[in-house]
Structure 1
Amino acid sequence: MIGQLTGTLIAKHPPEILLDVNGVGYEVQLPMTCFYELPELGERVTLITHFVVREDAQLLYGFNTFAERMLFRQLIKAQGVGPKLALTIMSGMTAHQFVHAVTHDDVTSLVKLPGVGRKTAERLVVEMRDRLKNWGSTTPATDAAPIDFGDLTPTISADSPRDDALNALLALGYKLAQAEKAVAAALKAEPQASSEQLIRFALKNM
């Protein structure tokens, strides 16, 4: 089990990053709410991780806090919720917002997320209420110790911010037409926005 990774951030392709750990590159998928808090390329970062092994893939999911990972693990235990949907849920609202929605029976907020219909939202409220009774945030793990990565050069996506934002929304489960409309609206509001800013705006206004 890979529970934590510390290394240098060398690529961002939302919602996925590439993290170099002593010469080994790990592809890690993050909820966008965690992605927004990443440092700049080339900087050191520590992620709390959850490792998923399937017949056709081995996947790493990363989080800034243990509480966020705990929420993810509780979500994937819920009926009909796999890692992809859990990632989408945690991208559309922060962990605190999700817990608030569950504890206040706020089905309306949950059904706004892609892949979450009314029945799924109602089931999540019922299943997660008891599991989240003792939920609380924790301090993000950090490690500021220097590390030498030699001539390793951070890279960014060759795609435009628009394409990065569109691909991220598609990866999170949004339909193409819906994603294109949201990104277009974000670009109209912020023509010079970065991909992360476009994604944040699009998710907020879906």
Structure 2
Amino acid sequence: QRLIKSRLTSIRFQFKNTIEKDLDNLFGKQGELFSTVLLTDVKTILTNLGTKLKSIAHDKTNINDYSTWFSLTFQQQHRILGTPSIREIEIPGQYTSKKKPLPEHHIKIVGFDEKILVLQSLRLPKRLTICEHDENDYRFLLKSGEDIRKDQRIQALFSIMNDLYDNEPNCNQSNLAHITVQTYKVIPMSTKLSIIEWLDNTRS
């Protein structure tokens, strides 16, 4: 199997060029000045680095700017890869506690749209479009810096409420509107990274 050679993404390369001189002046090219830097200076430096990174990332709308792996592995939209392990990657959020999972019927990923949407909120979350083998596109929001496990539990609670509504005759009378709570998939990847199902025509 051919290994994909890694390289700096557009954002990382631009970020490196932006801060390299500042870090050399502060710490020394070999780190010889590191012991002289005060803790308060480090906090200021980290804040400035975060600001510079956001200023670089806010207008990047191509997936290649964030991940060369996506760019090199999925060369075009709807491409089915020859590597079985990659071809069997499933779309997130297909496992629930309501029924026994049937992975053979789950939707598989075949590619990614090259364009992404960067939301102009505090953490600049990115909307990613996944192309599936059922010829549909699924959108997800990639969010970092927050623990959304509580959000996942809330969505699970709403799902249980919907089941109760469905089984309650008073909530399903023909002369009344069907009572339901709109839910969406929330998939925590870690305490700082998550994938959220994208819902069109909504506001946060």
Which structure has more helix as a fraction of its residues?
A: 1
What is the TM-score when the length of structure 1 is the normalising length?
0.23
What is the TM-score when the length of structure 2 is the normalising length?
0.23
Greater relative contact order (CA < 8 Å, ≥ 6 in sequence): 1
